Amino acid sequence: MQDQPSYLFPLPHTSLIAALAQHVTLSQEEEAAFLAICEIREAKKKEFLLHTGQPTRALYFVQKGCLRSFIVDKAGKEVNLEFAVEHYWISDIGFGKPALLSIQALEPTQYVQINIAAFEQLTQGYPVFNLFFRKLLQNGYFAFKKRTLSGMTQTAAENYRDFLLKFPDLSQRIPQYHIASYLGITPEFFSSIKSEGLDLYQQAIS
């Protein structure tokens, strides 16, 4: 695309365009307008994109690597809420409000940052992005609700199966205690249910 501001977007953005196309059909002009508000960023391993309490100003789309969102619970323990690997979106959602959670890189991560104020302005000229964001929120809300409720209605082994279905290769990439924290269990209990969860996963994909 000729009118794409290449200085802001020097890297392949095929995955981002594909992510948009999942929800909306865009003209070249709309695609270019969207790419113009996207900033390519890189985070080192362990680097924070957002700290609990900071105003939330952006949403993030992972090109390569892995981000996690987490909170510190009342016992002072970190609890992982979400992982975002390649082609996943992640954010705090409460735009303008103090963030409920922190977002941190678990691997060296290349991601797209979309400033929410710039996004709001974009929707003025191109209302199709309200539809895009609405679909994104609908999916994100449902996924978060499903995961929260699974923690209450399913066994730990079933929750681990669901983790493996969602992130087939992530257990090879991040420390096991991060997965235990995502499942809401201790690393010791995770060890004891791991092979049962793997069996359930094998059944589910076979």
Using CB under 8 A as the criterion, which residues of the chain lie in contact with its own copies when the complex forms? Answer: 71-74, 79, 81, 93-95, 97, 100-101, 123, 127-128, 130-131, 133-134, 137-138, 140-142, 144-146, 148-149, 152-155
Q: By C-beta, is 56 or 63 nearer to its own copies?
A: 56
Query: What are the strands, taking DSSP E only, across the chain?
Result: 38-43, 48-50, 58-64, 67-72, 78-84, 89-90, 102-105, 109-115
Q: How, if at all, do strands 89-90 and 58-64 pair?
A: antiparallel
Instruction: Decide if 44 contacts 105 (C-beta within 8 A).
Output: yes
Least distance between its own copies and beta carbon 36 (Å): 21
Q: How, if at all, do strands 102-105 and 48-50 pair?
A: antiparallel
3-state secondary structure at position 95: strand
Least distance between its own copies and beta carbon 201 (Å): 19
Which residue, among 80, 84, 48, 37, has the nearest Cα to 64 in the 3D structure?
84
Q: By C-beta, is 6 or 153 nearer to its own copies?
A: 153
Least distance between its own copies and beta carbon 141 (Å): 4
Least distance between its own copies and beta carbon 126 (Å): 11
Q: By C-beta, is 148 or 195 nearer to its own copies?
A: 148
Q: By C-beta, is 91 or 109 nearer to its own copies?
A: 91
Q: By C-beta, is 45 or 135 nearer to its own copies?
A: 135
Rounded CA-CA distance 62/111 in Å is 4
3-state secondary structure at position 175: coil
Least distance between its own copies and beta carbon 42 (Å): 27
